[in-house]
Structure 1
Amino acid sequence: MRIALLEDEIEQAQHIQGILSERGYQCDSFQTGHTFLSAVLHRTYDLIILDWQIPDMTGIDVLETVRAQMNWPIPAIFLTQRDSEADIVRALDAGADDYLAKPARAAELVARIHALARRIHPENEKECLDFGPFRVNIHQRSIHLHGEPLTLTDKDFDLTLCLFQNQGRLLTREMLLQRVWGLTRDINTRTVDTHMSRLRRRLGLNPENGFRIKTIYQRGYRLEAIDAGNADTSSEDTLAHA
């Protein structure tokens, strides 16, 4: 899981990053609202943790901007010294999913993150997932379309599962390289583009089957459910411009 942390106190940020890294999470820390927003709105994160009082804007302002501009409900936790009932209500009304008071207690913070991940993505607990005519068996690592098995490589399966579990969400090339190929360095490669173009054909991602992979220019990809009667396929396979 990749987490973005908004915390202007360096020691506090390092403490939280240490807690999360020990549990296997990748945590990027930002000291201002503007740098945080620039990262969250253009990269791929699974969860955000917000402080309330930061130098250039409030955590509430940051969260409201995230909710207005992102096309999927990224889980958000407030971690702040402000712990009055009025503050908690205000944060939740602004779109926060959870609220913790500082100082961060390691076990509680990790437990809240786990609980939130299960609540936001309950399908991760299932063995078989259905997406329209597609059935994905996680344990058997198989995918069927209209009841017929598809022939896919291991990487094709991992990439397909990642797309379906994040339907409607922008997935950057950086995030896909990390999740599917295990690459953490910033590598200039066409690997993702090549696999994505091939996957469109192998999965039959077209209006008849109800899904398409949309290329987001210079950023990444998004799997979208489409209405066969109102399908716009003009931006599906734009590999040459990706």
Structure 2
Amino acid sequence: MRILIIEDNPDIVANLYEYFEPLGHQLDNARTGHAGLTRVAEQRFDVIVLDGMLPGLDGLEVCRRLREELHCKTPVLMLTARDTVNDKVTGLRAGADDYLVKPYSLIELEARLDALVRRATPSMADQVLRFGELEFDTGIFEVKRAGQRLEITPIGYKLLAALLRAAPRLVTREELEQEVWKDALPLSDALRSHIHTLRQALDKSFPASPPMLLTVPGIGYRLVDGDASQ
């Protein structure tokens, strides 16, 4: 799992890293609510662990902004010392998917995160990814833009799936390379070549439409719905 921890207590953060990293999970940490929102806007995570008592921008407001401003669908588990029913209801209504009261068991936290990620994973019957004019049926490997079927390479399918799941957020070069090649990364800049081929399929065949695959120089790539701003 790729886990984002939005927590300002260094002891809690260190404890989570010590527990989850040896299990093979990838962790990132933001110490403030604003930093957490920035991380989510720039990267893709499988689940977010969010402290409810952050200084400044608290966990409830962070959760609301994740859902309403970033349109982030990543599961959120809120950690807090507040344990009344009203507190839990408030957290869930702000957009949290689960709620765990401090102090908590790390084993229980791991089980809850596993369950959230499992529920967020599309079933075989619901694997159509959509964004703007793009539609990708991952069950039959069929991609369409504005109803027109596109020819995509095998690696292009993997890249497009990662971009669609994150859209309109940015996906870093490192994330895309990990998605395609796992730990066996190519020595050459193969990603640039495959992105070029994917862009040819997505955009070059539609010269009258705004491009959908954009490059953020030195960082990564993102999909945009050009027609939505018209």
TM tier, smaller = 0.7 to 0.9
TM-superposed deviation, 1:29 = 1.9
Count residues in correspondence.
Answer: 218
2: CA distance between counterparts of 1:37 and 1:167? 15
SS of 1:49's equivalent in the other structure is strand
TM-superposed deviation, 1:115 = 1.9
1: CA distance between counterparts of 2:174 and 2:159? 13
Q: Is the 8 A contact 2:167 2:222 kept in 1?
A: yes
1: CA distance between counterparts of 2:184 and 2:45? 14
Aligned match of 2:86: 86
% identical aligned pairs: 32
TM-score (structure 2 length as normaliser): 0.73
2: CA distance between counterparts of 1:172 and 1:102? 33
2: CA distance between counterparts of 1:31 and 1:231? 34
Aligned match of 1:152: 153
Aligned match of 2:141: 143
Aligned AA for 1:58?
A: D
SS of 1:70's equivalent in the other structure is coil
TM-superposed deviation, 1:98 = 1.0
Of 109-118 and 85-94, more deviation after overlay is shown by 109-118
Aligned AA for 2:99?
A: Y
SS of 2:55's equivalent in the other structure is coil
TM-superposed deviation, 1:95 = 1.1
1: CA distance between counterparts of 2:35 and 2:184? 21
The verdict on how the C-alpha distance between 1:214 and 1:7 changes in structure 2, with shifts beyond 3 A counting, is same
Aligned AA for 2:153?
A: L
The verdict on how the C-alpha distance between 1:145 and 1:113 changes in structure 2, with shifts beyond 3 A counting, is same
Aligned AA for 1:143?
A: F
Of 98-107 and 80-89, more deviation after overlay is shown by 98-107
TM-score (structure 1 length as normaliser): 0.70
**1:100-147 C-alpha deviation (Å, 9 max, x unpaired):** 11223233222222222232232xx4289445775434xxxx73458x
2: CA distance between counterparts of 1:37 and 1:161? 23
In the alignment, structure 1 segments of 5+ residues that lack a partner are 234-242
Aligned match of 1:101: 101
2: CA distance between counterparts of 1:184 and 1:56? 42
Aligned match of 1:178: 178
The verdict on how the C-alpha distance between 1:134 and 1:85 changes in structure 2, with shifts beyond 3 A counting, is closer
Q: Is the 8 A contact 1:130 1:136 kept in 2?
A: yes
Aligned match of 1:7: 7
Aligned AA for 1:215?
A: L
Aligned match of 1:197: 196
Aligned AA for 1:152?
A: T
2: CA distance between counterparts of 1:222 and 1:83? 39
TM-superposed deviation, 1:65 = 2.8
SS of 2:74's equivalent in the other structure is coil
Q: Is the 8 A contact 1:143 1:149 kept in 2?
A: no
2: CA distance between counterparts of 1:115 and 1:224? 31
In the alignment, structure 2 segments of 5+ residues that lack a partner are none
Q: Is the 8 A contact 1:205 1:213 kept in 2?
A: no
Aligned match of 2:33: 33
2: CA distance between counterparts of 1:110 and 1:13? 14
1: CA distance between counterparts of 2:12 and 2:29? 10
